[in-house]
Chain A
C-alpha cells in the first residue's frame, strides 16, 4: 500500500533562514508526488508536483522540491523563509485505484517562523 512519511512534526526556523522539509514515500510504480500547504482555517493549496522528467521541480512562493528515486524521497526546500510561510505542509503521493486517483497524505509538518 502507498504511504507517505514526514518525519518532522514541527520545525522552527528564523526568518531569512533556509528550509528543508523531508518526505519519504512508499509506492510500487513511478509516483506522482505533491506538496500542499495549509494555513490555519484554510484548505490546502498546491505548491508543486512531480510527474516525470526533471527531478528538481519549481513551485509557487519560491519553493522547490527534488525527487530522489534511490532514497524514495521528495524533500521540499526554500532558500530564504518569510514569516508568511508559517503554515502546515503536507506531502502526498497519487495512488491510482479503481480507475481514479486518490492522494495519500503524510501527517504534515508544521512550520513556525521566528522574526
Chain B
C-alpha cells in the first residue's frame, strides 16, 4: 500500500507570491491533517479535513488555507508569502470511520520544504 505522497518535495518562492502544496493520503484514509515544522516553533498544527470538510484549524493567519477533494486528496495554499513561512510542511492521513474515536495514529508524508526568499 502506497504511503502519503506530497508534492512538490522542494520549492523556492519569493515574498508576496503564493504556493499550493498537494497531499495524496493512503488509500482508504479519509482524514488529512497538515502541520508546519520550523526549527524555532517545532511542529504546529495547521488544519484537518475529513470528507471535504475542515473540522479543525490551528492558530495560523488566514493566508493559510486548504481544501480536500472527494477522493480525499488535499491541497494547502499559502498566499502573500513571508520569509517566516519557510518551513517543512507535513501532511498526515489517518483512517476514520464516522462515530469511531480517532486513534490518533497519523501516517506522515515526507513533506514539502518551502523556502521563501
Interface residues of A (CB under 8 A from B): 32, 34, 36, 41-46, 49, 51, 90, 92, 94, 96-108
Total A-B pairs, Cβ < 8 A: 67
A residues less than 8 Å from B43 (CB atoms)? 90, 92, 103, 105, 108
B33 contacts chain A at the CB level, 8 A cutoff: yes
**Taking CB as reference atom, which chain A residue is nearest B50?**
A100
* Inter-subunit contact A44/B102 (CB<8 Å): no
* Inter-subunit contact B108/A43 (CB<8 Å): yes
Query: Which of B18-77 touch A at CB < 8 Å?
Result: 31, 33, 35, 42-45, 48, 50, 55-56, 58
Interface residues of B (CB under 8 A from A): 4, 31, 33, 35, 42-45, 48, 50, 55-56, 58, 90, 92, 102-111
* Inter-subunit contact B42/A94 (CB<8 Å): no
* Inter-subunit contact A94/B109 (CB<8 Å): no
